[in-house]
Structure 1
Amino acid sequence: MSHERKRAESKCATGAKARRRAFNLAAFGAILALALLFKVFYLWSYSHSSPYFAIARLDSGVYVDWAREINRDGRLGTEVFYQAPLYPYFLSVVFSIFGESFPAVTVIQLLMGAGIVCLVHLVGKRAYGERAGLISAALCLAYAPFTMLETKILTTATEMFLGLGSMYLLVRAEQERSIGCWAAGGAVLGLAVICRPNYLPVVPLVILILLARHRHRPREAIPAIFAVGLIPCLIVGVVAARNYAVGRDFVPISSSAGVTFAQGNNAMARGAMVVLPGFSGSSPNQRREETLIAEKEMGRPLKPSETSAFWFRRAFEFIREHPGQYLRLLLDKVLLVFNNRELGNNYLMSVEEALTPALKLAFIPFGFIMAWAVVGLVPLIRPGAPRAAALLATFLGTFAMLVLFYVSTRFRMPLATAAVIMAGGGIATFLDSLGNARRASLILAAAAALFIVSLPPFLPLNETQLMRGDGEYWANLAVAFEKQGQCERALRASEKAIAINPESYRNHAKKTELLDASHADKNDVIAWALQVAEKFPGECSAHLALADLYRAAGKNGEAIRSYRKAVALRPREPEPYLRLGALLGNGGDHRAARAVLAEGLKVGPADIRLQYDYAVSCAMTGDREEALKWLREVASREPGYARSRELLRQLDAGPPESGTPGGRRPGP
């Protein structure tokens, strides 16, 4: 009877286990189906609402241009890598297969996003159990930046997929003691490093954790340490060898590390990226600008590694001279890591939500994830912890990189992949403790306290800094709409940028351009441009824009006055002289035009346009020899200048007739 009872209990337990397995499989299938449905719906909405679906700007534009160069000039390239190289090479392969199709890239990255949900579930299940894996996958779906950044031509989706792939393989290798998984995990981790160097600290941290766990039997850890330590180093070594081959310079991955470190560690920094003095803030121009500044200060040409070292030294000087301020900065970065505010880097979450409201369906804030991730950290570090060294190392290593450099939503993504897994573990730990009221209360109180720290009042950046930054992203959106010919939407985005940051001249100037391009009433455009010039009286370009509008409307007197204000503001720049001289000459006042253009030639003696217009003015005032002298100068420097050749023929034939010989430049 006892034997039969045991058999019945065993059969019942087996059946219960099978039912649990079926339930868990069905639950994960539902989460994955929901993830795919949400991503497809978001992509459809995004393709109809956002200009970024069809154009690439800022860092996205840099990656696209880089991929084009790879396909055009060959895989090796000719310069030391400025940024981590894996993603543009991936992009070049996609372009070679599908053509330069941005939608193809987006679809591939959204499929990676579905893979990310799967990998989060698999790692969570191995580290904490089946329930934790399901919770982690659900959190992954409910955190909006994952899906938002998958639709951008950026490294984010690729780096997260590789980082999670290495994490899964390494956790599996540790639990199953599989040499093949150790080797595969090390290889994928190496690829993640050359896609996003934020993963670099994961390598030594995994080794340290393995040594600590095998301190009594260190020989058991040797194969794992060999695979994790050597294989990523070999992959990075291939990149370093390539950099040395093309540039005769030792740069392990990319040469932008120094300036990136300086952008997050300087006297103006509060935890987010700061545009350093002398920089425009434009991604495509950053490499040239950092090199020019460094070479000017050093007084000699610099290799990329030397330029990077220059900016590292600049940041370390700040740290050494202001230790108290630096410690406060580190605390600010920690607070920013936890904070619910999504800080932009090329793209801003609040702008993306305004463009594509479907994104708001993913509503979990990052502070909620981090609060429960810290709870989930405890089971990973206590005695008898599950074997998940790669998960712990990824969380700690990517957290450290944010604190060392700076914080933004995009740069927080490698940490977010580990955090959602650990948050699932933390929530599962809390659910398991519900039978113990005291323990459950302590866990809930700790999570609540951490979540409170993530709320906006604890944000180290002040409202002025945040609003200024938000305005820049709306201004970028206006430019993107303008490139697509959607002037009305560009104008609305520009007005939003002005409302957020009314002290930005760039935003006001862009609205002037857009009003002019949208065929608005010219008197209204002039009235707006006049307001801009009065609000920013020291901006030369504001007066130039107003003068151009006056000239187009036939109000030459007002135009001349505005051009003269521009000349007074920028007496060392040739452009105001050129425009004023052209207007005076077209109005028949050739002597005044000649005098203005002569002043312009003093500050821009090599400007072909000034030389030609001055020659025209000389011809119209009867000074044929002076006109011939300058026309011959133009012809010698630019033989293809057709108007100059025509005027030379006229003057060689004899004195000019009345009218404008050769055709005066009508001005901009």
Structure 2
Amino acid sequence: MSAPEPGRGALIGALVVFVVGLALRLAVLVQVEAHYPLADRPVIDEASYETWALEIAGGDWIGDEVFFQEPLYPYWIASVYTVLGPERHGLRVVQALSGALVAAGVFGLTRRLFGPAAGWLAGLGFAVHRAGLFMPALLLKPNLFLPLLLGLAALLALGLAPPPVERRSALRRSLGLGCLAGLGALLRGNMVLLLPILVAWPAAAVWRRDGARRALALAAATAVGVLAILGPVATRNWVVGGDLALTTSGAGTNLYGGNNAQNPYGRATEFDWVRGIPQFEAADWAHEAERRVGHELAPSEVSSFWLGETLRSIAADPSLHARILWNKLRLTLGAYEVPDNHSLDWAATYVPLLSPLVPGYALWGSLGLAGLLLFVLERGRGARRGGGAALAILYLLYLGTIVATVTSMRARLPLVPLLLPFAGYLVTRFLAADRDPKRLLAAVAIGAAATLIPVFDAHELQQDLDKREFNLAVYSVEAGELERAESIATGLARRYPGTSRVETLLAELESRRAFASLEDPEGDRAQAQSLLQKALGRLRLVVEHPQTNQRERFRANALAAWIQLQLGNGPAAARRFSDALEFDPADEALRFGFANALHLEGHVDEALEQLRLLEPTPQVLARIAELTGQ
């Protein structure tokens, strides 16, 4: 099997794959924007990225804190918004174009490595890949990371270190590798783990042929590329935050998040002390770390604390952590698209083109893993054996970074363009005259088993869907869509009776309906009072239940505080506000409410003390003036 040279056929093939990929992504985008309930409401990381991007586009290019989230994607959104205007549809179209280009790039890379037939299967495989079709509709980092990682893979697989007569070209490619690696680290924190390996990679490629001096020169060029990207970011973190962080201060928390007893499968999850919303996440992790050590910590010290907690847990129970790593490996190799900000299976109930019948990881993972295994067993037959080996090594390295941290659909998606070329290799070997049927069958059986044997049972999968339903109910309450929220909450209450999250949601609905009735001159005041008492009863049970975690107790206390304040019950409101502020002492809205509750109790001086802790907004200044009679 010989690899063809680029030519007219390659360009036509890439164009066909691009058109197919773009057409499908735009069709999915139309359905998402028409029917998906979260299309007009970016959630969790999406909301954080968009808010941050709008601040950047508005002129705040530097910021004033050490980065907690990787910064490159918000800056990318800001650039697109600056050119096209702050409108999500335009950004999504750009992301659809990027996804289609990745499909074309997979075609080209695979064709160069394993031939035309392999290129067609791999390129069209990504063009129609179910998760890849959905991603451009979301404001998430894989949309920018996918083309970057594919470019890095192409550099490694298609001849990073050319013959000695092309030394300048080798240095340029090594420098480019370093730049891509640095940009990758600003998109995915797990790429930081690969930086030392990627810096050494060019040196390893030429060491035997060109000697130590030449190898070190290439490694130095790669390191310069990395530092050219990350150096300014580290400097910026030091200048604005007075703390040394190469990229972000979230490395330790990310590692802990995927490696602890509370999270046996290493999925994205909310811990007892963390609200899974980036607006609060950094402060919640810091507050818990400071509570445990008993003093304030710098952002890098917070990261180091959680890294230390992870290492201590591993040392205390290595068998537990071996099981966690095994679970993450099974999930990452398996067919199930593990939800994070979004669930692909839940989205498919609204978007027909995301139906489970559309080819997804169940197919491509099975074929790709089988092809990778066969490639290893056959030692990569063909003219581009070294390129295939480089691609296999990069796949395994990136897989390792996911297993070491947190696994999810969006974390795994970048593996698909690295795996699909081996699906193409499998097909070409199946068609080859010198194929070994027994070896082929064994590879396919192992690939299918690793991908298709389920990790979760039907109940666990239903819980994942119900979590999306719960989130939709919360968003519906915030949007004032109480009927939709109540319909969802009623169903959840039947399936999960008495759980703290559902009880707090029901209390929120009851309080909203009650206050709407009280504001209505013709509303039923008696019924409203009954609803408020019922809501407070639910919240009291949540707060007093010994198994309620810190986060849910905080939410219940905060809601109960606002209800009591609206009812004019100063002492009860002050007590609930005080309890809520123990979880989040930096919440200015809660502290403002606490001040008002203290005033209701008659504690004017204490109320003023609380108000003076807040940012001097017009509302705060007006309240201070009111209490002081000025």
TM range (shorter): 0.7 to 0.9
C-alpha contact (below 8 Å) 1:578/1:597 kept by paired residues? no
Task: After superposing the two structures, state which structure 1 stretch, 181-190 or 206-215, moved more.
Answer: 206-215
Match of 2:64 in 1: 78
Question: In structure 2, do the counterparts of structure 1 residues 413 and 250 end up closer, same or farther at CA, with 3 Å as the change threshold?
Answer: same
Q: Between the two structures, name the one with larger relative contact order (CA 8 Å, sep ≥ 6).
A: 2
Match of 2:135 in 1: 149
Q: CA deviation at 1:109?
A: 0.6
Q: Does 1:198 align with 2:190?
A: yes
Match of 2:238 in 1: 244
C-alpha contact (below 8 Å) 1:174/1:387 kept by paired residues? no
> Which residue, 340, 347, 351 being the options, matches 1:352?
347
Q: Secondary structure at the match of 1:217?
A: helix
1:451-470 mapped onto 2 (5 Å cutoff) = 451-457=448-454, 459=455, 461=456, 464-470=459-465
1:263-342 mapped onto 2 (5 Å cutoff) = 263-271=257-265, 272-342=267-337
Aligned residues: 577
Q: CA deviation at 1:467?
A: 3.3
C-alpha contact (below 8 Å) 2:111/2:118 kept by paired residues? yes
Match of 1:33 in 2: 19
Q: Secondary structure at the match of 1:52?
A: coil
C-alpha contact (below 8 Å) 1:206/1:389 kept by paired residues? no
> Which residue, 428, 445, 448 being the options, matches 2:445?
448
Uncovered stretches (5+) of structure 2, i.e. residues with no partner: 164-168, 545-552, 579-590, 612-619
Match of 1:230 in 2: 224
Match of 1:101 in 2: 87
C-alpha contact (below 8 Å) 2:517/2:525 kept by paired residues? no
Q: Distance in 1 between matches of 2:313 and 2:390?
A: 34
Question: In structure 2, do the counterparts of structure 1 residues 612 and 232 end up closer, same or farther at CA, with 3 Å as the change threshold?
Answer: closer
Match of 1:91 in 2: 77
C-alpha contact (below 8 Å) 1:139/1:424 kept by paired residues? no
Q: CA deviation at 1:351?
A: 1.1
Which amino acid is 2:622 matched to? G
Q: Distance in 2 between matches of 1:269 and 1:93?
A: 37
Match of 2:526 in 1: 554
Q: Secondary structure at the match of 1:554?
A: helix
Q: Distance in 1 between matches of 2:186 and 2:564?
A: 53
Q: CA deviation at 1:440?
A: 2.8
Match of 2:369 in 1: 374
C-alpha contact (below 8 Å) 2:560/2:576 kept by paired residues? no
Match of 2:412 in 1: 412
C-alpha contact (below 8 Å) 2:48/2:278 kept by paired residues? yes
Match of 2:106 in 1: 120
C-alpha contact (below 8 Å) 1:367/1:454 kept by paired residues? yes
Match of 1:539 in 2: none
Q: Secondary structure at the match of 1:81?
A: coil
Which amino acid is 2:439 matched to? L
Q: Secondary structure at the match of 1:454?
A: helix
Which amino acid is 2:347 matched to? E
Q: TM-score, normalised by structure 2?
A: 0.79
Q: CA deviation at 1:93?
A: 1.3
Q: TM-score, normalised by structure 1?
A: 0.75
Task: After superposing the two structures, state which structure 1 stretch, 362-371 or 295-304, moved more.
Answer: 362-371
Match of 1:425 in 2: 425
C-alpha contact (below 8 Å) 1:262/1:311 kept by paired residues? yes
Which amino acid is 2:452 matched to? L
Question: In structure 2, do the counterparts of structure 1 residues 612 and 104 end up closer, same or farther at CA, with 3 Å as the change threshold?
Answer: same
C-alpha contact (below 8 Å) 2:564/2:573 kept by paired residues? no
Q: Distance in 1 between matches of 2:180 and 2:445?
A: 36
Q: CA deviation at 1:414?
A: 2.1
Task: After superposing the two structures, state which structure 1 stretch, 319-328 or 190-199, moved more.
Answer: 190-199
Alignment deviations for residues 527-560 of structure 1 (CA, whole Å, 9 cap, x no partner)? xxxxxxxxxxxxxxxxx999999x9542488568
Alignment deviations for residues 211-230 of structure 1 (CA, whole Å, 9 cap, x no partner)? 55545324365554344343
Q: Secondary structure at the match of 1:216?
A: helix
Q: Does 1:131 align with 2:131?
A: no
Question: In structure 2, do the counterparts of structure 1 residues 513 and 557 end up closer, same or farther at CA, with 3 Å as the change threshold?
Answer: closer
Q: CA deviation at 1:252?
A: 1.0
Q: Secondary structure at the match of 1:333?
A: helix
Match of 1:260 in 2: 254
Q: Distance in 1 between matches of 2:79 and 2:152?
A: 22
Uncovered stretches (5+) of structure 1, i.e. residues with no partner: 1-16, 523-543, 586-595, 616-629, 650-668
Which amino acid is 1:183 matched to? L
C-alpha contact (below 8 Å) 1:159/1:192 kept by paired residues? yes
Larger Rg over CA atoms: 1
Q: Distance in 1 between matches of 2:498 and 2:457?
A: 16
Question: In structure 2, do the counterparts of structure 1 residues 159 and 576 end up closer, same or farther at CA, with 3 Å as the change threshold?
Answer: closer
Identity over aligned pairs, percent: 22
Question: In structure 2, do the counterparts of structure 1 residues 361 and 240 end up closer, same or farther at CA, with 3 Å as the change threshold?
Answer: same
Q: Distance in 2 between matches of 1:409 and 1:415?
A: 10
Q: Distance in 2 between matches of 1:143 and 1:642?
A: 58
Question: In structure 2, do the counterparts of structure 1 residues 632 and 62 end up closer, same or farther at CA, with 3 Å as the change threshold?
Answer: closer
Alignment deviations for residues 405-439 of structure 1 (CA, whole Å, 9 cap, x no partner)? 1211111122222112222223322322xx346x1
Question: In structure 2, do the counterparts of structure 1 residues 504 and 116 end up closer, same or farther at CA, with 3 Å as the change threshold?
Answer: farther
Question: In structure 2, do the counterparts of structure 1 residues 214 and 171 end up closer, same or farther at CA, with 3 Å as the change threshold?
Answer: same
Q: CA deviation at 1:401?
A: 0.6
Q: Distance in 2 between matches of 1:235 and 1:275?
A: 32
